[in-house]
A and B are shown apart, each in its own frame.
Chain A
């Protein structure tokens, strides 16, 4: 049982990076970006293929990050320069990436068993594989949280936030909103691909299908994090995302443990997210109900 939780935490830390990426588009830019489904698999594909062919795993991981950024760039250009609605632009890139990822790997999946990954140096220090992932994940996540906290406080970071908040106002303040949207998508998908590359290395396996449903997992983690751990300020938000991603993994590990068939997982996640997203609607129904129950007119 304890092992399951530890495994969930370590995996959650890797997914947290992806969750932060989803947060950047979904909450900061106010765009539902489906590119992530392709870029997470792309990160896995790039890292797996490069490592499999003898590249240093750290360089391979950086390469995966760059690959994800390129995917974000494509979606950004489709959306801002070619005026394709964001949702559709993301879907187009996602579909295109499916073929691209197959090209990269040359086949539908690739095993990294008994091949050195970014986690190997820590394992060599005597850590168990799970602990190695956990430590590496923790350090990476904290570094990313720190970097993003700084970045979104800079002039450019503030311009991105303003663009997502009120593009009209942003343009009136001289902000090139198109460029800010592109930049946000680039950073977001870079992080998502980075996450994908680490997930693939931790499970010694990359699969062309691994992106399917990942946007929903990302959203679930964002919402769980925000609801349970709060959104008082930006730093609090970032930490909540990380804890949300971990919580999601623990929940999944527990429901699987309780006997839910793994095939039902996506249905379970989708229903969870649907409920979470519709909470505001329920609240408006519940408020008058509460009022009438209380009998007052407040």
Chain B
């Protein structure tokens, strides 16, 4: 579903601040793979997801989604096959627009927008239905401005928006990191459910090792812009946090450095 061939990404190339965020990065996901991504601070996890989403171009290599080479495609065009939820709950929704308007924007992802109404009555019923599944009472607040919602509600809504039009690829970048533990669990459960129901190919970055182990069918660990561990299937199911830390030490020759990971 997703094939990444030796991509490289440098920031501030040619200056003293040059930073190689991804180097010779390879990865290939099968359809329906739910991959959790962990790694220390600055390992390049966000950069990797942003390269796939097209937020910025890559310096080398190619990215294929479902056989289509998207390496040169601008962000808004790639969006037709990619659903995204960001770390910052503010980032995934338009705060000055209503809940239904946000959903209507997402409903039209990948479609050429015209001068027909931005939202129809028929859609409203669909949205109500979907929102009721979130179990947050949002189905009765279709007109409410999204800016009035809590972080958790916004993330749940963003998740719904990301999957409303079934994406070929779902990218979750620490999408529960800004939430309190209880809300984070709820949003994680929702993510699990949406992924399962839609059999969505998913990449989920998390700093929480336990989450990385408990969710998904495959786990990759990144370090200095490369994949240094790739654990699947049976082996992933047996995995513990201690294992993971030990194996990181073996592969990288360093101690795992993510200020947040060890706390949780």
Distance A151 CA – B118 CA, assembled complex (angstroms)? 9
Which residues from chain B contact A171 at a C-beta distance below 8 Å? 75-76, 79
A144 within 8 A of partner (CB)? no
Known contacts A166-B91, A168-B91; decide if A161 and B161 are in contact (CB<8 Å). no
Q: In the complex the two chains form, is A174's CB within 8 Å of B76's CB?
A: yes
Interface size class of B (residues with CB under 8 A): 20 to 34
A10 to B236, CA, bound (A): 74
Give chain A residues whose Cβ lies under 8 Å from the Cβ of B84. 172
- Bound together, the chains give a CA A165 to CA B114 distance in angstroms of 20
Does A173 lie within 8 Å of B109, measured CB to CB? yes
Q: Is B95 an interface residue (CB 8 A)?
A: yes
Q: Is the beta-carbon distance between A154 and B114 smaller than 8 angstroms?
A: yes
Report whether A159 and B113 are in contact in the complex, using a CB–CB cutoff of 8 Å.
yes
Q: Do A165 and B113 touch (CB < 8 A)?
A: no
A162 sits at the interface (CB 8 A):
yes
Tell me the chain A residues, 169-198 only, with Cβ under 8 Å from chain B.
169-177
Specify the main secondary structure of chain A where it touches its partner: helix
Q: Which of A168, A174, A177 has the most chain B CB atoms inside 10 A of its CB?
A: A174
Residues B95 and A165 in contact, CB atoms below 8 Å apart? yes
In the complex, what distance in Å separates the CA atom of A136 from the CA atom of B79? 46
Given the interface contacts A154-B118, A158-B118, does A166 sit within 8 Å of B94 by beta carbon? yes
Contacts of A170 in B (CB 8 A): 76, 94, 105
Q: Could you say which residues of chain A place their CB within 8 Å of the CB of B95?
A: 165-166
B116 sits at the interface (CB 8 A)? yes
User: What is the chain A residue whose CB lies nearest that of B147?
Assistant: A165
Q: Select the stretch in B96-104, B217-225, B254-262 that faces chain A.
A: B96-104
Across the interface, do A158 and B115 meet the contact criterion of CB distance under 8 Å? no
Decide: A169 and B110 in contact? CB cutoff 8 A.
no
Q: For the complex formed, measure the closest distance between the CB of B178 and the CB atoms of chain A, giving whole angstroms.
A: 15
Interface positions of B from 18 to 74, Cβ below 8 Å from A = 53, 74
Contact of A172 among B53, B111, B118, B119 (CB under 8 A): B53
- Residues A155 and B106 in contact, CB atoms below 8 Å apart: no
Q: Which secondary structure dominates chain B's binding surface?
A: loop
- A173 lies within 8 A of B106 (CB): yes
Known: A173-B106, A176-B76. A156 touches B93 (CB 8 A): no
CB distance from A54 to the nearest CB of B (A): 36
Chain B residue nearest to A166 (CB atoms) is: B94
| A157 beta carbon closer than 8 Å to chain B | yes
B92 interface residue (CB < 8 Å to A): yes
- Given known contacts A159-B113, A165-B96, A166-B95, is B77 in contact with A174 (CB within 8 Å)? yes
Nearest B residue to A27, CB-CB = B96
Q: How far is the CA of A169 from the CA of B93 in the complex (A)?
A: 6
Contact B80 A153 (CB under 8 A): no
Q: Judge whether A172 and B92 touch: CB under 8 Å.
A: yes
Indicate whether B196 reaches chain A with its CB closer than 8 angstroms.
no
In the complex with contacts A155-B117, A173-B109, A165-B76 CB distance below 8 A: no
Give Cα A46–Cα B102 distance, bound, in whole angstroms. Answer: 41
The reply on B141 being an interface residue by CB < 8 A is: no
Is the Cβ of A156 less than 8 Å from the Cβ of B105? no
Say whether A169 contacts B116, CB under 8 Å: no
For residue B108, CB closer than 8 A to chain A, the reply is yes
- Are A174 and B79 neighbours in the complex by a CB distance under 8 Å? yes
A154 in contact with B93 (CB, 8 Å): no
Q: Tell whether, in the assembled complex, residue B105 and residue A175 are in contact, meaning their CB atoms are under 8 Å apart.
A: yes
Query: Does the CB pair A173–B161 fall under 8 Å?
Result: yes
Q: What is the CB-to-nearest-CB distance from A174 to chain B, in angstroms, rounded to a whole number? A: 4
Residues of B within 8 A of A174 (CB): 76-77, 79-80, 108-111
Closest to A160 in B: B113
Q: How far is the CA of A151 from the CA of B117 in the complex (A)?
A: 9
Binding site for B on A (CB under 8 A): 151, 153-159, 161-162, 165-166, 168-177
Residue numbers of B with Cβ under 8 A of A are: 53, 74-77, 79-80, 82, 84, 86, 90-97, 101, 104-106, 108-111, 113-119, 161
Can you pick out 8 interface pairs between chain A and chain B where the beta carbons lie within 8 Å of each other?
A154-B118, A155-B117, A165-B95, A170-B105, A174-B80, A174-B108, A174-B111, A177-B76
Q: For the A-B complex with A170-B94, A171-B76, A174-B108 known, give 5 more contacts whose Cβ atoms are closer than 8 Å.
A: A154-B114, A161-B94, A166-B90, A166-B91, A174-B109
